[in-house]
């Protein structure tokens, strides 16, 4: 599948590498083409991997991953172009983390709205699916890093797009349990897990923590 990655940070590169290893045609998008992080990633990844502008990456793609920091997500996706997201599955991995008020960071939006919903409203013809934001980059791409049973969540308004993401998470990345929380308003619940994750990270001194839903 042709996959576009918006954002060349650790999340974008980790997911991009995993997707390329799975045989997908992955294009990494940055603000300007030929940046060092993107070029190094292409060199190290090989295969069908490529890099370009945000518009290049999304125009190329059947599925787009938003891997930008939450505070610049809408700006980056706008630069990619609404037209290039039209009718496509847009997996929103970002968290609305606000470091401006000191530590621990807070959320720039929560409770009555979410970044997932903001992105869906800004790009109404894209099929936004919120997922993967509840774990660290390495665990997103390889859940077996954390021993035992632990779960991933998805939410979104388009059932077909969600099904596509669930399939990719399970058969591609190896997630055993993927829980569909409902429409994109459930992104609030997913993003509001961040404070717990940060506390657990501090307590256990490892980013390799996640939750399992017992029932």
Residues at the contact surface with a second copy, assessed by CB under 8 A: 101, 104, 106-107, 110-112, 146-150, 179-182, 185-186, 188-190, 192-193, 195-196, 198-200, 202-204, 206, 208-215
Q: Cβ 15 to a second copy, closest distance in Å?
A: 21
Question: Left, alpha or beta for 27 (phi > 0: left; psi -120 to 50: alpha)?
Answer: beta
Shortest spacing between CB 8 and a second copy, in angstroms:
29
**Least gap, CB of 211 to a second copy (angstroms):** 4
Smallest gap from residue 109 Cβ to a second copy (A):
9
Taking CA atoms, 212 is separated from 46, 151, 179, in Å, by 35, 5, 10
CB-nearer residue toward a second copy: 42 or 154 = 154
- Choose between 87 and 104: whose C-beta lies nearer to a second copy: 104
71-95 burial string, b = 16+ CB within 10 Å, else e?
bebbebbeebeeebbeebbbbbbbb
Residues making up the chain, counted from first to last? 215
Residue whose CB is less far from a second copy, 64 or 178? 178
* Structure-token pair, residue 76: 């980056």
Q: How far is the CB of 81 from a second copy (least distance, A)?
A: 32
Residue in 29, 63, 182, 55 with CA at minimum distance from that of residue 114: 182
Q: Which is nearer to a second copy, 31 or 204 (CB)?
A: 204
Q: Between residues 41 and 175, which has the closer beta carbon with respect to a second copy?
A: 175
Give DSSP secondary structure letters for 50-117: EEEEHHHHHHH-SEEEE-S-GGGHHHHHHHH-GGGGTT-EEEE----EE-TT-SSPEESS-SS--HHH
Per DSSP, the three-state class of 150 is coil
Closer to a second copy by CB, 40 or 159: give it.
Answer: 159
Q: Rounded to 5 degrees, what angle do the CA atoms 100, 103, 106 make?
A: 60
In contact, 78 and 40? CB cutoff 8 Å: no
Name the minimum Å distance from CB 22 to a second copy: 24
């Amino acid at each position: 599948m042709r996959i576009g990655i918006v954002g060349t940070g650790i999340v974008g590169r980790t997911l991009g590498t995993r997707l390329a290893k799975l045989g997908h045609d992955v294009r990494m998008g940055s603000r300007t083409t030929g940046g060092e992080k993107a070029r190094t990633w292409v060199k190290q990844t090989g295969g069908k991997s490529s890099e370009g502008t945000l518009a290049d990456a999304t125009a190329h793609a059947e599925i787009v991953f938003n891997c930008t920091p939450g505070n610049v997500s809408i700006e980056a996706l706008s630069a990619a172009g609404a037209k290039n997201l039209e009718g496509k599955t847009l997996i929103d991995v970002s968290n609305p983390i606000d470091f401006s008020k000191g530590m621990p960071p807070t959320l720039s939006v929560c409770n009555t709205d979410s970044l997932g919903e903001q992105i869906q409203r800004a790009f109404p013809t894209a099929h936004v699916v919120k997922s993967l934001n509840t774990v660290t980059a390495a665990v997103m791409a390889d859940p077996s890093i954390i021993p035992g049973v632990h779960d991933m969540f998805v939410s979104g308004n388009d059932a077909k797009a969600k099904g596509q993401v669930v399939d990719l998470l399970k058969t591609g990345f190896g997630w055993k349990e993927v829980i569909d929380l409902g429409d994109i308003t459930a992104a609030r619940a997913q993003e509001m897990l961040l404070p717990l994750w940060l506390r657990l990270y501090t307590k256990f001194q490892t980013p390799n923590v996640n939750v399992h839903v017992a029932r």
